[in-house]
Amino acid sequence: MRLIADECSSKHVMEEIKQRIKDRYHSQEKFARTLGASRKTLNRILNHGTDIDTLFRICQMLEIRRISIE
């Protein structure tokens, strides 16, 4: 099992989110359902970061407690 740090840099946060989704939900499809979104919507958020409110919610769901902005 991979250890996950509580802190992510802004450069790596999307990669960290994707890895946590894979580790905990096994697919973006399953995570999207839990989030209440389609996989397509989740993919747009993860690849473009356009919905900040949902991105914060995703971080909470995945227990990402801190993100440092570089």
| 11, 44, 62 from 20: Cα distances, Å | 16, 17, 7
Q: Which domains does the chain have, with CATH numbers?
A: 7-68 (1.10.260)
Residue 4 confidence class, pLDDT cut points 50, 70, 90: very low
Helices 39-48 and 52-61 cross at an angle (nearest 10°) of 100
State the pLDDT at residue 58. 93
When the pLDDT of each residue in the chain is averaged and rounded to a whole number, the result is 82
Helices 39-48 and 13-25 cross at an angle (nearest 10°) of 150
Residue 5 has pLDDT above 60, yes or no: no
What does the pLDDT look like over 8-56, one tens digit per residue? 555 678 888 999 999 999 999 999 999 999 999 999 888 887 778 888 8
What does the pLDDT look like over 41-54, one tens digit per residue? 999 888 887 778 88
Q: What is the DSSP letter of 8?
A: E
